[in-house]
Amino acid sequence: MASGSASGSGGASDAGIEDHRRKWDKEEYEKLAEERLLEELEALEQSKQKPAPVTRELLRQRDYRVDLEGKLGKSVVITKNTPSSQTGGYYCNVCDCVVKDSINFLDHINGKKHQRNLGMSMRIERSSLDQVKKRFELNKRKLEERKKDYDLEQRMKEMREEEDKLKEYRKERKKEKKRKVDDDIDQDQSEGQSELAAIMGFSGFGGSKK
């Protein structure tokens, strides 16, 4: 009986004791965990995406003359402190490299690596119909101009030849006229001598004795 009352009093004291342990809000933490998981998944998807392609200019014609003969015949003293741009060979300031001969240098500046460093692709711009027509018209004008230049040069050559022929003709006419005058003078002199010999009773001058 005593024991029963004791247990009853003990149960009453347990009910009156407060629980000071921290209470966890499961719904709130589940929501935070879900948001964190979504963020990690989005970051993972972004890391898997390919970077945006680099836009490069289309390949275009070079607007300057490549100097391949500027260093020919020149002597250069090269030391270990000489910059690459001043050593022997052909220096490319775009790629910072030296190429030993002109053929390989041309191959280099026309190559894919050099063009990429210039910000260009190896693709050529597709010409429109109007551009093709304008190109044909330009080539046609150039051809006509060359033809005109050729015709003018040919005509000048023909005129020079005609002038030379005229000079030669005039020269021959002058010589012929001079010969004719000389022949007339010789004939007059011969006739004068004959008349004089006849008057003086001689058959001729310078004749042989009989």
CA dihedral 56, 57, 61, 66 (to 10 degrees): -50
pLDDT of 18 strictly over 70: no
The tens digit of pLDDT for each residue in 123-165 reads 777 778 888 888 899 988 888 888 877 777 888 888 888 888 8
pLDDT of 13 strictly over 50: no
Query: What band does 3 get if pLDDT is binned at 50, 70 and 90?
Result: very low
Q: Position 48: which residue type?
A: K
Query: What band does 1 get if pLDDT is binned at 50, 70 and 90?
Result: very low
pLDDT of 5 strictly over 50: no
Contacts for 76 with CB less than 8 Å, ≥ 6 apart: 86, 87, 88
pTM (predicted TM-score) = 0.37
Distance separating alpha carbons of residues 170 and 160, to the nearest angstrom? 15
The residue that leads in pLDDT, 122 or 34, is 34
Question: What pLDDT was estimated at residue 206?
Answer: 52
The tens digit of pLDDT for each residue in 35-45 reads 888 888 888 77
Question: What pLDDT was estimated at residue 108?
Answer: 92
Give mean pLDDT, residues 81-89: 79
Each domain of the chain, given as residue ranges in start order, spans 84-118, 129-187
What own/partner pairs with CB < 8 Å and gap ≥ 24 does 18-27 have?
none
Mean pLDDT of all residues belonging to the chain: 76
Percent of the chain surpassing pLDDT 70: 74
The residue that leads in pLDDT, 78 or 6, is 78
Query: What band does 180 get if pLDDT is binned at 50, 70 and 90?
Result: confident
